[in-house]
Amino acid sequence: MDAYILLGIIGGVSSIVSLLLAAPNMKSRIFHGVYGFLLTVLVGSAFIFNQTTQEQLNTANLELQHLHSIKNGASQLAESYSFTSDVGKNRGFIISSFIFLEKNQSEFPKAFQIAEKLVINGLNITSSSGEIGSGGSYDERKRMEDGAETMRALLRGLATGSNT
């Protein structure tokens, strides 16, 4: 219970007591009655305001914890990537990053849209160059390296607020 509410309750009780102990004339009793009523309304309003404020604070704290959790997840995923020319590892990192962004697209809709365009249109993530040593192998490796670095930068940007 808030200290102000407790003070208001004590004030209300003292007003009721003073009403009972007031001078016997009608003007004094009406004054103390109105005073007690106004004090009761004030305490009730303070209590309702306090409850509403506490609920809003709790909701904001839950949202903050959720965003902090997403930030930590993005940071951990970004830090798990180490530069490699291995097409499979880069493709796996890109897909993992995309899944993370898809899971949190309600929080970061623009980042998800960018990643979706990158993965589907830009990188052709589902296309393979075929056998190793063919002319397309270098292009595929370069696409996956660029894509993985781009996704890493995007995740780090979400985690830290920068693009480094």
Task: Report the candidate in 95, 66, 98, 85 with the shortest Cα–Cα distance to residue 141.
Answer: 85
Q: How far from 146 is each of 93, 138, 154, CA to CA, in Å?
A: 12, 12, 12
Q: What is the pLDDT of residue 62?
A: 95
> What residue segments make up the domains of the chain, in order of their start?
3-62, 80-160
The answer, yes or no, to whether residue 3 has pLDDT greater than 80, is: no
Q: What is the pLDDT of residue 59?
A: 95
pLDDT digits over 113-153, tens only? 988 888 887 776 666 655 554 445 777 788 888 889 989 99
The answer, yes or no, to whether residue 109 has pLDDT greater than 80, is: yes
Could you give the count of Cα atoms lying within 13 Å of 114 in the half-sphere of its Cβ?
12
Burial 47-80 (b: 16+ CB within 10 A, else e): beeeeeeeeeeeeeeeeeeeeeebeebbeebbee
pLDDT digits over 86-96, tens only? 888 888 899 89
Q: What is the pLDDT of residue 120?
A: 82
The answer, yes or no, to whether residue 61 has pLDDT greater than 80, is: yes
Location of structure tokens 């595929």: 140
**CA 137 – CA 73 distance, rounded (Å):** 32
**CA 159 – CA 68 distance, rounded (Å):** 9
Does the pTM surpass 0.85? The reply is no
Q: What is the pLDDT of residue 97?
A: 92
Structure-token pair, residue 88: 């499979």
